[in-house]
Amino acid sequence: MAPSMAKKKTTPRDNSSLRYYRYENEYNRLVAVLSEEQFERVRQHPLVFWTQPADRGLPMVFIDWPLERLLGLPFDEVYSTPGVGTKKIVGLITLLKRIVKFIEADAATDPSRQTDGEQEDASSFDARRVSESQWSDWRETVIRHELKSLPIGRIARSLDEVPMVIWDTPLGSYCDHTLAQIREMKTHGQKRVRVILEAFWTVHSLLNRVELTPHLVVDLTPQFVRRVEQWLDGVNVAQAPPTVEEVRRHFVEPLLEQLEIDLGARIAKLVSERLGLSGATTSVRNQAKKVGVTRARVYQWLEDCARATAIRWPRGAWKVAGLLRKLESDPQNRATLELVTAVADIFLPER
């Protein structure tokens, strides 16, 4: 027989090697842990429930098995299954360790933000490492706290990172979908999926351990909104109206700071110039010439500013209405009234 036609000789697996016993001991340890009472709720889920898109070397023959079925197999039977070699065993053990870690860990040790066991910052969120199990828990938190109507843009770190078409998309739009289904949606590329997952993760991280009480509700509000509203509430009950300087410090500056986070320094500077915070006000015509764009483009930026504020601060127009009424009742506050009106015209035109 020609060499090219000869059958390859298969080498029998060495079940007496030190490596085999190391894998067997680790597998048996994990089986013992996963057989404990605290893991009862997850044993009916298939292994694929905990897989992540970046996983490699998984034993596909077991991937759709419920965890409970796998736990009933002795190691030698798993190891001798056709298609399962050393790499697949390593992948299986890694997956079982992930299940144990996920159930035992609290929100502060979420695996989707871990590298070598250390907590990463928010900018390092890796959507590729999110499993169906994590996604299921995140959805449950949103539903339990009745936050399905919360827009994605309301809780995003920066609207500049969020596609504008989903700024006002409620979290509930994704609560009935698996992670695999979301990844397969049209127009949902890596960036959009990452934004969606991070929004759910943010809510889960904040509220996972919060106990529901019948007389209190959760209100996820951007920090700048709380600062401004607390000041407005104080002004509306005070006898004396605020000065121009107070309006700038407690009302205008927080809005501009958030605008720079959401839309960038260029648009924040453009709005500052329109308000004349550093001197005379600048017209749209002059701003367009200075930046090298059309006036229509400048007006579009201003519209984006108003839309961003509506997402971040939906009750803003109602809150500012009280301040405007207070200022309008006293003709001596003309300068303050003009500044607040100009700010409201840009940030809250819907009023």
SS (H, E, C) 217-284: CCCCCCHHHHHHHHHHHHHHHCCCCCCHHHHHHHHHHHHHHHHHHHHCHHHHHHHHHHHCCCCCCCCH
Pair (156, 196) in one structural domain: yes
Q: Which domain holds residue 200?
A: 130-207
State the pLDDT at residue 85.
83
Q: What rounded mean pLDDT belongs to the chain?
A: 85
Instruction: Look at residues 105, 122, 148 and tell me which one is the last residue of a structural domain.
Output: 105
Pair (231, 284) in one structural domain: yes
Most confident of 55-69, 93-107, 195-209, 244-258: 244-258
Pair (149, 182) in one structural domain: yes
State the pLDDT at residue 84.
86
The vertex-14 CA angle with 11 and 20, nearest 5°, equals 140
Choose among 127, 126, 55: nearest CA to 92: 55
Pair (257, 321) in one structural domain: yes
Compute the Cα dihedral for 52, 54, 58, 62 and give only its sign.
positive
pLDDT over threshold 70, residue 321: yes
* 125 domain residue, yes or no: no
Pair (151, 230) in one structural domain: no
Pair (141, 101) in one structural domain: no
* 13 domain residue, yes or no: no
Q: Which own/partner pairs from 3-7 qualify as long-range (CB within 8 Å, at least 24 positions apart)?
A: none
CA 214 to chain centre: 27
b/e sequence 11-38, b meaning 16+ C-beta within 10 Å: eeeeeeeeebeebbebbeebbebbeeee
State the pLDDT at residue 177.
94
* 154 domain residue, yes or no: yes
The residue with tokens 């340890």 is 29
* 117 domain residue, yes or no: no
How many structural domains comprise the chain? 3
* 110 domain residue, yes or no: no
Q: What is the mean pLDDT of residues 160-179?
A: 95
116-130 per-position pLDDT tens digit: 333 345 556 788 888
Pair (92, 134) in one structural domain: no
Pair (228, 194) in one structural domain: no
The vertex-200 CA angle with 194 and 202, nearest 5°, equals 95
Instruction: Look at residues 156, 183, 207 and tell me which one is the last residue of a structural domain.
Output: 207
Q: Find the farthest-apart pair of alpha carbons in the chain and give their distance in angstroms, rounded.
A: 108
* 91 domain residue, yes or no: yes
* 88 domain residue, yes or no: yes
Contacts of 194 (CB under 8 A, 6+ apart): 125, 127
256-293 per-position pLDDT tens digit: 999 999 999 999 999 999 999 887 888 999 999 988 99
Pair (230, 198) in one structural domain: no
Pair (100, 184) in one structural domain: no
Question: Among residues of the chain, what percentage have pLDDT more than 70?
Answer: 89
Question: Among residues of the chain, what percentage have pLDDT more than 90?
Answer: 47
CA 33 to chain centre: 31
Extract the tokens encoding 45: 């889920």
Instruction: Look at residues 72, 105, 138 and tell me which one is the last residue of a structural domain.
Output: 105
pLDDT over threshold 70, residue 180: yes
Q: What is the mean pLDDT of residues 322-341?
A: 90
* 271 domain residue, yes or no: yes
Q: What is the mean pLDDT of residues 318-323?
A: 92
State the pLDDT at residue 9.
38
